[in-house]
Amino acid sequence: MSKDARNKDLELSPAEKKQFDELVALLAKRGFGEEGPPRETAFAQIEQFGHQAGQMVARAIDARLAEQHATHFVGEEPCPTCGEKHLPNESPHNLELQTEDGEVKLREPAFHCPPCERDFFPSTHPVAD
């Protein structure tokens, strides 16, 4: 199991590691209080909480990175069908994406090509479809 990708930690600087440890302490406290899990706690309960907290963190990272990534799509983008360039719509498309860690709500830049009568979303679908 040592080659399991789940065991691959990110490399963090000492300052980042300190902040990471603080986040872990904050979430652990949220789950089991200041004193930690009571004596009768089964490890499975600890593991279940850790997994829930981890998925929450994963969803937040997904949403943050997708929001940052979306800022690249403020100008004209080519229609995947005809190649004609269009500016993004005034309102982004609200998308509820199902990920391995649960539902992530995104606001993806939306484009419309009148000649092709199609919408396109180059931030989440970079390859023509």
Closer Cβ to Zn ion, 79 or 110, answer by number: 79
Q: Work out which of 26, 60, 61, 82 binds Zn ion, going by CB under 5 A.
A: 82
Q: Establish if 116 lies at the interface with Zn ion (CB under 5 A).
A: yes
CB of 81 to Zn ion, least distance (A): 4
Does residue 79 interact with Zn ion by CB under 5 A? yes
Interface with Zn ion (CB under 5 A), residue total: 5
Cα torsion 115, 121, 123, 126: sign: negative
- Tell me whether residue 106 or residue 113 sits nearer to Zn ion (CB atom): 113
Q: Could you tell me the smallest distance in angstroms from the CB atom of residue 89 to Zn ion? A: 14
Q: Which of 66, 70, 113, 123 binds Zn ion (CB under 5 A)?
A: 113
3-state secondary structure the chain: CCCCHHHCCCCCCHHHHHHHHHHHHHHHHHHHCCCCCCCCCCHHHHHHHHHHHHHHHHHHHHHHHHHHHHCCCCCCEECCCCCCEECECCCCEEEEEEECCEEEEEEECCEEECCCCEEECCCCCCCCC
Q: Which positions touch Zn ion (CB under 5 A)? A: 79, 81-82, 113, 116
